Amino acid sequence: MTKPLNEYTIVEAARALRARECTVLELWDACRTAAEEKNPALNAYLELFDADDAAIAAAQKRIDAGDTSMLCGIPLAMKDNILVEGKTVSAASKMLEQYRATYDATVTTRLKKAGALFLGRTNMDEFAMGSSTEHSAFGPTRNPVDPSRIPGGSSGGSAAAVAAHLCIAALGSDTGGSIRQPAAHTGIVGLKPTYGAVSRNGLIALGSSLDQIGPLAKSAEDAEILFAAIRGHDPLDGTTIDEATYPPVALPEKLTIGIPRALIGQDGVDPALRTVFTETLSKLEAAGHTLVDIELPMSSSALAAYYVIMPAEVSANLARLDGMRYGHAARGKTLLDDYLLSRTEGFGSETKRRILLGTFVLSSGYIDAYYRKADAAREVLRAEYARAFAQCDVIAFPTTPSAAFRFGEKSGDPVAMYLEDVFTVTANLTGMPAISVPMGAVETEGARLPVGIHFTASHGGDTLALLAAREVETAR
C-alpha cells in the first residue's frame, strides 16, 4: 500500500502492523507529524499529547507476540469531554480550561486495555452545545474539505481530525446529533449507539438521558471495531445495558429500508442534497434492498421536544460548575457574587442561553406546560418508530438538511442553528441507534461538499445500522 500511514483505516493499519510493514512508533509519528503540520490551520485538536513511550512499546510488544486486538497500537483522538487520567479536559469551555481528569472514563479504560494510543483532545462546541463548533471558547475548527466552512458540531474537532487524517479514528459524543452531523459534513462515518450501549462514566454530562459516546471513523467497519471495544455493561453507569438482555440482532441478507417521504420533502431540505439521497436509494435498490414508504408524522415535533428536554438537563448538569466545586473561580464581595462572577466569566453565550432556557422550562408553573409535555412526546415518538419498524429493518433520511455552511452564517441565529438537528435528535429522544455514512457530495459555490445518509435502527439494533452503512459503502 502506498498511501501515507496516517491515511490508513484501523483495518489497514492493524494489517500493516502485523505484516511488519510499519511499527507502532512509525504509525504514531505519521499521525503526530500530520497533526503538527495541519492543526494550526484546522484547530481540530485543542492539545496534542506527548508520545507515551511506554504505551507505544507495550503495544509493539503485544503485536510482536501475536496479539490480535485490532486497536492495539492505533492512534486515536478523543473529544475534549471524555476523561483521560492526568490530562486536561475542558469541554472547550473557559470554565474547565485548567481542569485535569483525575480518572479515566470507562471508554478510555477499555481503549487502553485494547492497546489504543491517544494523540490528543479535540475541539468541540462548549459542553457539546452546537452544530458547528463555532461555540468553542478556543476558536472554531475548520472543515478540511473547505476551510471556509464549519465542520459540523459539536464533535467538529474529532470529525476534522479523522477526515484530515490527523489520527486513524476518534471518539465523540452525541446528545442530539453531535457525532453524526459533523461526520456528514466532513465525509466520514459516525455512529450514535443505542442509549446505554456505551458507558457515560467519565463523559462530562450534557443531557444525561440523551448522551452517548460513539466512534467517528473512516469506514463503517472501523466504526464497528471501535464500538465493539467500548460497548458493554458498566457497573459505574447504571443506565448501561446488560447485553445478556439484548440477544444478537438477526442480520438479514437484504435490508428493508423505510423512507419517511414527507419528512424528507419538507421545506429547508436542500434540493441538491435530496437528489443525492434519492440516487443513493436507487443504488441500494439496485443492490437488492427493498424500499418501503413509511409515515413518521410526530417527527415534526421532535426538534421542539429536544430543545426543551436538552436545556432542562443542561441546567441541572452544569449547576455543579459554580466556582466552588469545579472550574473557573472568580471571587467577589459575597458568596452570591462568587457564584455569579464565576459563571458569568466561565460560560459562553450559548451555554448561558441553554441554562436560562432549561431553568425556565423546569420552573414551577411552566414545568407542566413545557418539560412534561416534551417528555411525553418521547413516548409518542418511540411508539411511532416501533410501528414503523414493524415494516422495515432501518429508517433512512439525510443526516442534515444541507451541506456544511460558512462560518457566521447561522451563529447569530440560534433557531437556524437548532434546525440543523432536525433529522438527528429523534434517535437521542428515543434512545435508538443511528449512523451517518457518506452518500456523495453536492456542488455549492464551486466546492464539492460531502453529505451523509442517516440510518436509524430499533433499540439494540446497532449492528443493523452498521450493516446498512456498509451496504451504502458497497453500493456507492
Active site residues: 79, 154, 178
Shortest distance (Å) from residue 174 CB to ligand GLN: 5
Nearest to 292 by CA among 387, 382, 428, 401: 387
Shortest distance (Å) from residue 131 CB to ligand GLN: 4
Torsion of CA 359, 362, 366, 369, to 10 degrees: 130
Binding mask 199-228 for ligand GLN (x = CB under 6 A): -------x----------------------
Nearer to ligand GLN, 23 or 400 (CB): 400
Per residue, what are the HEC states of 301-340? HHHHHHHHHHHHHHHHHHHHCCCCCCCCCCCCCCHHHHHH
Shortest distance (Å) from residue 43 CB to ligand GLN: 19
Q: Rounded distance, CA 380 to CA 389, Å?
A: 14
What are the b/e assignments for 198-233, b being 16+ CB within 10 Å?
bbbbbbbbbbebbbbbbbbbbbbbbbbbbbbbbbee
Q: In sequence order, what are the residues at sequence separation of 6 or more whose Cβ sits closer than 8 angstroms to the Cβ of residue 174? A: 155, 180, 190, 192, 211, 212, 213, 214, 424, 428
C-alpha cell at 439: 452518500
Residues 142 and 155 sit within 8 Å (Cβ to Cβ): no
Pairing of strands 447-457, 394-398: antiparallel
Shortest distance (Å) from residue 453 CB to ligand GLN: 19
Shortest distance (Å) from residue 57 CB to ligand GLN: 36
- Does position 178 bind ligand GLN by CB under 6 A? yes
Candidate ranges 6-14, 168-176, 320-328, 455-463; the one touching ligand GLN (CB under 6 A): 168-176
Sign of the CA dihedral running 101, 104, 108, 112? positive
Candidate ranges 174-182, 316-324, 361-369, 400-408; the one touching ligand GLN (CB under 6 A): 174-182
Shortest distance (Å) from residue 244 CB to ligand GLN: 29
Closest residue by beta carbon to ligand GLN: 178
Tell me how many residues contact ligand GLN (CB under 6 A).
13
Residues 117 and 56 sit within 8 Å (Cβ to Cβ): yes
Binding mask 299-328 for ligand GLN (x = CB under 6 A): -----------x------------------
Nearer to ligand GLN, 217 or 357 (CB): 357
Shortest distance (Å) from residue 235 CB to ligand GLN: 25
C-alpha cell at 313: 438537563
Residues 241 and 200 sit within 8 Å (Cβ to Cβ): no
Sign of the CA dihedral running 375, 320, 205, 413? positive
Q: Rounded distance, CA 112 to CA 76, Å?
A: 11
Q: Rounded distance, CA 354 to CA 177, Å?
A: 17
Nearer to ligand GLN, 289 or 454 (CB): 454
Q: In sequence order, what are the residues at sequence separation of 6 or more whose Cβ sits closer than 8 angstroms to the Cβ of residue 167? A: 6, 31, 35, 75, 76, 77, 119, 161
Q: Rounded distance, CA 318 to CA 223, Å?
A: 30
Q: How far is CA 258 from each of CA 17, 189, 255, 302, rounded to the nearest angstrom?
A: 41, 20, 10, 18
Nearer to ligand GLN, 131 or 136 (CB): 131
Residues 55 and 74 sit within 8 Å (Cβ to Cβ): no
* Residues within window 329-368 making contact with ligand GLN, judged by CB under 6 A: none
Q: Can you tell me whether residue 298 is helix, strand or coil?
A: helix
Nearer to ligand GLN, 206 or 437 (CB): 206
73, 120, 176, 323: residue in contact with ligand GLN (rule CB under 6 A): 176
- Does position 145 bind ligand GLN by CB under 6 A? no
Nearer to ligand GLN, 6 or 428 (CB): 428
Q: Rounded distance, CA 326 to CA 131, Å?
A: 26
133, 143, 175, 186: residue in contact with ligand GLN (rule CB under 6 A): 175
Candidate ranges 11-19, 173-181, 402-410, 462-470; the one touching ligand GLN (CB under 6 A): 173-181
Nearer to ligand GLN, 154 or 399 (CB): 154
Shortest distance (Å) from residue 400 CB to ligand GLN: 11
Candidate ranges 28-36, 169-177, 374-382, 405-413; the one touching ligand GLN (CB under 6 A): 169-177
80, 126, 146, 174: residue in contact with ligand GLN (rule CB under 6 A): 174
- Does position 177 bind ligand GLN by CB under 6 A? yes
Nearer to ligand GLN, 60 or 175 (CB): 175
* Residues within window 76-135 making contact with ligand GLN, judged by CB under 6 A: 128-131
Shortest distance (Å) from residue 456 CB to ligand GLN: 15
Nearer to ligand GLN, 210 or 392 (CB): 210
Instruction: Please report, as ranges, the residues that interact with ligand GLN according to CB under 6 A.
Output: 128-131, 154, 174-178, 206, 310, 421
